[in-house]
Amino acid sequence: MEFNIFNSSYIYNGENASYWEETRYTLTYLEDLFQPYFTLKSGNVIFKIGVGLLFPFNQEEKLISYYPYFQTRYTLDDFVFIIGVIDNDHDFSPCILDPLVRMTPKVRIVNTDQIPIDYESFPTGIFTHGFYEYGVQIKSSNDFLKLDTYLNWQLPDTSLHRERFDIGLIVSLYSFYTGIHYWHNGGHENFHPVEVTENYVTSLGLKEKNFSLFYLVSYWLPDRDRYPEKNVLGQAIYIEGNFEFFGINIQPQFFITSAFIFKEQSFISVEGDPFYRVPLYVGLNFSKLWNFGQNFIELKFVNGTFLPDTSTGWNPMMIRYDQKIQFNFNHKFEISTLSNS
């Protein structure tokens, strides 16, 4: 048996020139995530149980959010079966899944265009899912195949809001990559003005250590049952590089959608970085990682420019500039060794 401590302290500041209202702006996280938990190993099975405590840095509200942490992992050859809290290291591009979900338990929504929430009420605030994902997962990794498929349950159906969950499938065969993400917001147990909202996103392409090229297709159904004419199809190309120069990782990004050819199309991934809803985005990110065993410090600068629509010319206000510094600490204490009799 082990007693483990995971502690992550981070500062994240997201800024843009407030040109495009649908994206997030002046979004700042100053938080500490503290997670003590026990690990029990027996043959091919690992049990984990603990709690995640989120401390926002402020002297006004003494509020702490807590997240149950419980997981069962069963390993069979190259496959790992997980129930409870699943691993959140899904290998999606930022177009599909916002990188913030790997850092903070609560990814705040700052605009109603990110998720259709105008007819719902959220007593504890409006969030997308974050660091803690609850559900089931199957993973596999070897020299030629990488697999990650999961279901993440986010919200139940109540009188205040609809149920919400997402499903992911990622398969990498050598350099060939397929990623599928499904997001569901609906429910029939309680009355809701809009019963079902859905989002499908598919990504196909090549993925290497230093280069990725994806063709993406999205399908957005804001009111699946009543207004199918409001459904929106979108297509996009995403290119990403990763290079190291004097110990600094440099990540160029290029994203362009089919809106330049088909005016009625718009690429929408509800849980993606909202900057990838624009017709054109060009980014250049810089990061530095210091590893100390299982611990690390990361400094990152996310920079980009974009066009909010196909008819507007570019101007210097169309920029985003985010900064992050994160400290991750992991430590384990051996308590006892248990063996099967």
Reduced to 3 states (helix: H, G, I; strand: E, B; else coil), residue 246 is coil
Q: How much is the pLDDT for 111?
A: 67
Report whether pLDDT(316) > 90.
no
Q: In the prediction, which pLDDT does 341 show? A: 40
Q: Would the pLDDT of 97 be above 50?
A: yes
DSSP state, residue 87 = P
Query: Helix, strand, or coil here: 260?
Result: helix
For all residues of the chain together, what is the average pLDDT? 92
pLDDT in tens, 294-304: 899 999 999 99
Under the banding of pLDDT at 50, 70 and 90, the label for residue 112 is: low
In terms of Cα–Cα distance, which of 262, 264, 258 is closest to 279? 258
Tens of pLDDT along 126-153? 888 899 999 999 999 998 899 999 999 9
Q: Please enumerate in sequence order all residues whose Cβ is within 8 A of that of 331, keeping only pairs 6 or more positions apart, or say none.
A: 4, 5, 294
Cβ(164)–Cβ(150) below 8 Å: no
Tens digit of each residue's pLDDT (9 = 90 or more) over 229-267: 999 999 999 999 999 999 999 999 999 999 999 999 999
How far apart CA 252 and CA 242 sit, in angstroms, is 7
Q: What is the pLDDT of residue 116?
A: 65
In the chain, the amino acid numbered 234 is G
* Helices within 1-100 (DSSP H only): none
Parallel, antiparallel or unpaired: strands 27-42 and 163-173: unpaired
pLDDT of the residue at 21: 67
For the residues of 137-156, what is the DSSP string, one character each? EEEEE-SSEEEEEEEEEEE-
Separation CA 143–CA 269 (nearest Å):
30
Contact call for residues 96 and 271 (beta carbons, < 8 A): yes
**DSSP bridge partners of 149:** 138, 169
More confident residue, 65 or 36: 36
**What's the pLDDT band for 166 if we cut at 50, 70, 90?**
very high
Query: Which structural domains are found in the chain, ordered by start?
Result: 2-334 (2.40.160.10)
